A and B are shown apart, each in its own frame.
Chain A
Amino acid sequence: MLNVQTSEIENRAVKLGTTDGTKVHAKDVNVYYGDKRALFDVTVNIPDRSVTAFIGPSGCGKSTFLRCINRMNDTIPICRVTGKITIDNEDIYDPSLDVVQLRARVGMVFQKPNPFPKSIYENVAYGPRIHGLAGTKAELDHIVQTSLEKAALWKEVKDRLNDPGTGLSGGQQQRLCIARAVAVGPEVILMDEPCSALDPIATAKVEELIDELKQNFCIIIVTHSMQQAARVSQRTAFFHLGILVEEGATNDIFTNPTDKRTQDYITGRFG
């Protein structure tokens, strides 16, 4: 079983032209908000089909870096990004690349659940519709159903697909947003503190879901909860004051950090 999985990853890596299974690669990424520099020379490799957690105190730049990966920072007029970020060896800041196509490949789930004021069905069908992923109503129904199933929400909402998405509970709304992102068929899913607005039970459900989704997607999650990072992620990156301090296997970071700052943060001495 393990062998099969390993060889699958290797196959995919070969197909994508990378040898180490890297999905997202960032080199010397700097971000400026006007004159203020928010990120300093961030260089990191993020593997496919696993969960990578970004941790660090508030204002450390972890969300800023996350938003570079789908160029969401483009929507902020004063924000400027330098350096290079590639997905499957393709430069996402290449002027010839359409940001719309990029965002279809890199889905995003936000801190606060933000379902559109439409029905549950329309929320999930939104992405496939604008990208023309479904030719017929039956295909669209199928995409909606599988996406909701992947987001572990189908059983709860299958009888009320036409109810407004805003009427769901917070945890359900966040899973609806995950289903909405999954429906577009992305390769990478960015999650910006996806559980910070949820209660512990809803958080557990979303974490369970993240664990399942990693079989098919490259997941990057920003979190304030170190327990959450330890629970769901395989790799962890610690940011501090805009600098990527340390990055490595989650076990190593939490049990044997090499940097003093990382150690101080995970033992709760600051942050």
Chain B
Amino acid sequence: MSTTILVLIILALGVVGWVLGNWRARTSVNGKTSALHSRPGYYGAYVLLWTTLPALLLLILWSAISPTVVSSMVSSRLPETVLAGPEQTRALTMSTIGMIEKGLSRLSSEELDKTADPATDVKALLLSKGVPLAVNPEPFAVDAARFQLAVKNSSQLLLTASALGLSLFCMAFGFFQVGPKLRSRNAVESVALAGLLGCSMVAILTTLGIVLSMLFESIHFFSMVPITDFLFGTVWDPRFSAAGATNEAGGQFGLLPLLWGTLYISLVALLVAVPVGLFSAVYMSEYASSKIRLTTKPLLEILAGIPTIVYGFFALITFGPLLRDAGALAGLSISATSVLTAGLIMGVMLIPFVSSLSDDIINAVPQSLREGSYGLGATQSETIKRVILPAALPGIVGAILLAASRAIGETMIVVLAAGIAPNLTLNPFEPVTTITVKIVSQLTGDLEFNSPQTLVAFALGLTLFVFTLALNIYALYIVRKYREQYE
């Protein structure tokens, strides 16, 4: 019986359990449900959980463990020559056996018996069932595959029996516990609570996993390239040499040109986004009539919904050449991909972040402060400049820091518009490159996974992560501090 059908059967048993639990609860008090500790539905859910959860848990554990057990049973039957061979050969053999087993599972029992005879053309037989093999398999592989198939079949049989047995046993256990005194609501709710906790743990554990994997790969990288060379090197030139090469042939991995490019472009972007975003927030929250506000604010937020790749090719195809030609008219030589191109476009992308967050923060300044200021004869602009903006300042700084962390982590715009040359330059008209661009270029193409050329991406990712994390934490800290003032 396949696992899917097994799961469906267990769930169907769960429904039966629900009905039974509900019924027993009602009859135990002769239909006077107010005499029950919990609402009847909770008794149903109680039995349902007993019926399904243990069996499903068994199923999950079995599916996690059985492949390892099966493969160790199979590999112990392999000939000495294969077992003593290198790791790769063994893995290859095991995967061939897997393929054969997949084919064997489609055969009828008479056909299966025939494969025991070494003379049979297994390759042709399996091809007729839609499983192509590269070479005619060796007899020991066919034998192992037959063994694997048999083990798997009995394992599945055992699983079906034990899961259904467990399910029925637990259903009975839950069913006979049902009575007016049973605190079924508390039990069901604690299971629900565990479910909620589990969902929140998924996000946390995923983050933790990503950080740890970046950390370990980075440590692996730093065992090949000294960390000081990475952090303080001024030349980025990874080249294309293989793993195990000396540092000379392996290229140089200086972070500084990339970091400089990242920060420079982010700075240009913020120089665009902060004034424009802030002033538009001031207009939206203080001056605009509610009609204008209601139509303009969603429009501005559409800007935040444009995929960054669209900004990127807009920068590459339209804005960059435009800037280059305008520069040529003014006698400046501006590359089509430059700090300025990427920075300006990224600035436009960030405007809605700054303006939307600042708008919320300015609106959160209590109306009583505005009235207090107007009541003293202050004009609207005096009120904004001297009362509202100072009161909102910490929150606005938080908004800007969040925008900055977005700018630092932004990828698609800079991939297309900033260039790929790792320059350490102050000239905003020259192309630079950023950390994110280099992560993309190091990981695309055919590269060995354990060469420094690839592993450096993890070190770069870790650097980026540390930067944006620090900025986010600082921004949240400031925003939280600001909130405390008015509560």
In the assembled complex, the Cα of A18 lies from the Cα of B390 at a distance in Å of 44
CB distance from B144 to the nearest CB of A (A): 77
Q: Which of A70, A100, A116 contacts B372 (CB 8 A)?
A: A116
Interface residue from B370, B378, B382, B485 paired with A117 (Cβ < 8 Å): B485
Could you tell me if B373 and A126 are in contact, using CB atoms closer than 8 angstroms?
yes
**Contact between B375 and A181, CB atoms less than 8 A apart:** yes
B377:A116 contact, CB within 8 angstroms:
no
Q: What is the minimal beta-carbon distance from B480 to any residue of chain A, in angstroms?
A: 16
Is B289 an interface residue when CB atoms closer than 8 A count as contact? yes
B376 in contact with A180 (CB, 8 Å):
yes
Tell me whether A108 is interfacial, beta carbon within 8 Å. Answer: yes
Question: What separation, in Å, do the CA atoms of A166 and B369 have in the docked complex?
Answer: 12
Give every chain A residue within 8 A of B391 (Cβ-Cβ): 116-117
Nearest-neighbour CB distance to chain A for B367, whole angstroms, equals: 9
Which of A77, A112, A117, A130 touches B376 (beta carbons < 8 Å)? A130
Interface string of B456-477 (1 = CB under 8 A from A): 0000000000000000000000
Bound together, the chains give a CA A131 to CA B386 distance in angstroms of 13
Give the docked Cα–Cα distance between A85 and B359 (Å).
Answer: 37
A116 touching B375, Cβ below 8 Å: no
Q: Assign chain A's interface to a size class.
A: 20 to 34
Cα A72 to Cα B372 with chains together (Å): 10
Check B376–A114 contact: CB distance below 8 A: no
Which A-chain residue is minimally distant from B387 (CB atoms)? A116
The answer to whether A101 has its CB under 8 Å from any CB of chain B is yes
Using Cβ atoms and an 8 Å threshold, which residues of chain A touch B176?
none
Residue B165 is within 8 A (CB to CB) of chain A in the complex: no
Cβ proximity bits B276-304 to A, threshold 8 Å, 1 near / 0 not: 00000000000001100000000000000
Is B195 in contact with chain A by the CB < 8 A criterion? no
**Are A70 and B369 neighbours in the complex by a CB distance under 8 Å?**
no
- Which residues of chain B are near A115, meaning CB under 8 Å? 372
Cβ B377 vs Cβ A101 within 8 A: yes
B369 partner, pick from A72, A101, A114, A131, beta carbons under 8 A: A114
Interchain Cβ contacts within 8 Å, total number: 71
**Cα distance, A128 to B485, chains bound together (Å):** 26
A108 B375 Cβ-Cβ under 8 A: yes
Instruction: State whether the Cβ of B371 lies closer than 8 Å to any Cβ in chain A.
Output: yes
Interface residue? B374 (CB, 8 A): yes
What are the residues of chain A within 8 A of B378 when measuring CB–CB?
A: 100, 103, 126-127, 130
CB of A177 closer than 8 Å to a CB of B:
yes
- List residues 75-90 of chain A with CB under 8 A from any CB of chain B: 75, 77
Alpha-carbon distance between A177 and B371 when the two chains are bound, in angstroms: 12
A75→B377 contact, CB < 8 A: no
A126 touches B376 (CB 8 A): yes
Q: Which of A102, A108, A130 contacts B386 (CB 8 A)?
A: A130
Please report the C-alpha to C-alpha distance between residue A184 and residue B374 in the assembled complex, in whole angstroms.
12
Cβ-based interface call for A194 (8 A): no
Given A114-B369, A116-B391, A126-B386, answer yes or no on A181-B485 (Cβ-Cβ < 8 Å): no
A213 to B60, CA, bound (A): 80
Complexed CA–CA distance, A3 and B310 (Å)? 84
Check: B379 CB closer than 8 A to any chain A CB.
yes
Expressed in whole angstroms, the minimum distance between the Cβ of A72 and any Cβ of chain B is 7
Residues of B within 8 A of A127 (CB): 376-378
Q: Does B368 contact A (CB under 8 A)?
A: yes
Q: Is the CB of B390 within 8 A of A118?
A: yes
CB contacts (< 8 Å) of A219 on chain B: these are none
Is B377 a contact partner of A103 (Cβ separation < 8 A)?
yes
Within the complex, what minimum Cβ distance (angstroms) separates B293 from chain A?
12
Cβ-defined contact, A104 with B377, below 8 A:
yes
Q: Is A171 close to B, CB under 8 A?
A: no
B366 at the interface (CB under 8 A from A): yes
Of residues 330 through 379 on chain B, the ones whose CB sits less than 8 Å from some CB of chain A are: 366, 368-379
Q: Which chain A residue has the least Cβ–Cβ distance from B372?
A: A114
Q: In the complex, how many angstroms separate the beta carbon of B53 from the nearest chain A beta carbon? A: 53
For B485, the chain A residues whose CB sits under 8 A away are 117, 166
Residues of A within 8 A of B373 (CB): 116, 126
A residues apposed to B, CB below 8 Å:
70, 72, 75, 77, 100-105, 107-108, 110, 112, 114-118, 126-127, 130-131, 166, 177, 180-181, 184
13 A-B residue pairs with Cβ-Cβ distance under 8 Å, sorted by A, are A100-B378, A101-B377, A103-B374, A117-B390, A127-B376, A127-B378, A130-B376, A130-B382, A131-B377, A166-B485, A180-B376, A181-B375, A184-B377
Would you list the 8 A-B pairs with minimal beta carbon distance, nearest first?
A104-B377, A108-B375, A114-B368, A103-B377, A127-B376, A114-B372, A117-B391, A100-B377
Residue positions of B touching A, CB distance < 8 A: 289-290, 366, 368-379, 382, 386-387, 390-391, 485
